[in-house]
Chains A and B, each alone.
Chain A
Amino acid sequence: MESLEQNILKTKKRLLQMHFESGVGHIGGNLSCLDSLMVLYHRVLKKDDLFVLSKGHSAGSLYSVLWSLGRLTDEDLKLFHKEHTKLSGHPSPNWIQEITFATGSLGHGLPLAAGLALAKKLKKDSGRVFCLTSDGEWQEGSNWEALIFAVHRQLDSLTLMIDSNGLQGFGTTQEVASLNSLKEKFLSFGMPVEEIDGHDLKALEKTWGKKTRGPRAVIAHTEKGRGVSFMKNKMEWHYLPMNESQYRQALVDLDKEP
Chain B
Amino acid sequence: MRNIFCDTLVKYAASPDFVFLTGDLGYNALEPLQKAAGDRFINAGIAEQNMVSVAAGLAHQGLKPWAYSIAPFIYARPLEQVRNDVCLHDLPVKLVGNGGGYAYGVMGGSHHAIEDYGILLSLLNMRVFVPAFGLDIPPMVEKLLHLTHPAYFRLGRDEKPKDLDIPGYAPWRKILTGQGPTILVAGPLAGGLLGAFKEIPDAKRPNTWVLTELPFETKTIPDEFLRDIAKSGHLAVVEEHVAHGGVGEMLGRVLLLTGKNPKRFSHFCAQGYLTGYYGSQNFHRKECGLTAENILKELE
Q: Which residues of A pack against B, CB within 8 Å?
A: 93-94, 100-105, 107-108, 111-120, 122-123, 125, 141-142, 145-146, 148-149, 152-153
A142-B58 contact, Cβ under 8 Å, with A93-B88, A93-B89, A149-B45: no
Q: How far is the CB of B299 from chain A (nearest CB, A)?
A: 46
**Which 3 pairs between the two chains have the least Cβ-Cβ distance?**
A115-B57, A111-B53, A119-B61
Q: In the complex, which residue of chain A has the Cβ closest to the Cβ of B54?
A: A115
Give Cα A107–Cα B84 distance, bound, in whole angstroms: 12
A114, B53: Cβ atoms under 8 Å?
yes
0 or 1 for each of B51-70: is its CB under 8 Å from A? (1 = yes): 01111111111110000000
B80 close to chain A: CB less than 8 A: yes
CA distance A146 to B81 in the complex (A): 13
- Interface flag for B19 (CB, 8 Å): yes
8 contacts between A and B (CB under 8 A): A101-B60, A113-B57, A114-B54, A116-B58, A116-B60, A118-B57, A142-B50, A153-B42
How many Å lie between the Cα of A142 and that of B81 in the bound state? 10
List chain B residues, Cβ under 8 A from A148: 45, 47, 50
How far apart are B44's CB and chain A's nearest CB, in angstroms? Answer: 6
Q: Is the CB of B61 within 8 A of A146?
A: no
Could you tell me the dominant secondary structure of chain B's interface residues?
A: helix
* Chain B contact residues, CB within 8 Å of chain A: 16, 19, 39-40, 42, 44-45, 47, 49-50, 52-63, 80-81, 84-85, 88-90
**Chain B residues in 8 Å Cβ range of A145:** 45, 47, 49-50
- By the criterion CB–CB under 8 Å, are A112 and B85 in contact? yes
Once A111-B49, A145-B49 are accepted as A-B contacts, the answer to whether A122 and B63 lie under 8 Å apart by CB is: yes
With beta carbons under 8 angstroms apart, the residue of A100, A103, A118, A141 that contacts B54 is A118
Q: How far is the CB of B36 from chain A (nearest CB, A)?
A: 15
Are the C-beta atoms of B89 and A94 separated by less than 8 Å? Answer: yes
- B88 and A112 form a contact (CB under 8 A): no
**Complex interface: chain B residues within 8 A of A120 (CB):** 61
Query: What chain B residues lie within 8 Å of A94 (beta carbons)?
Result: 89-90
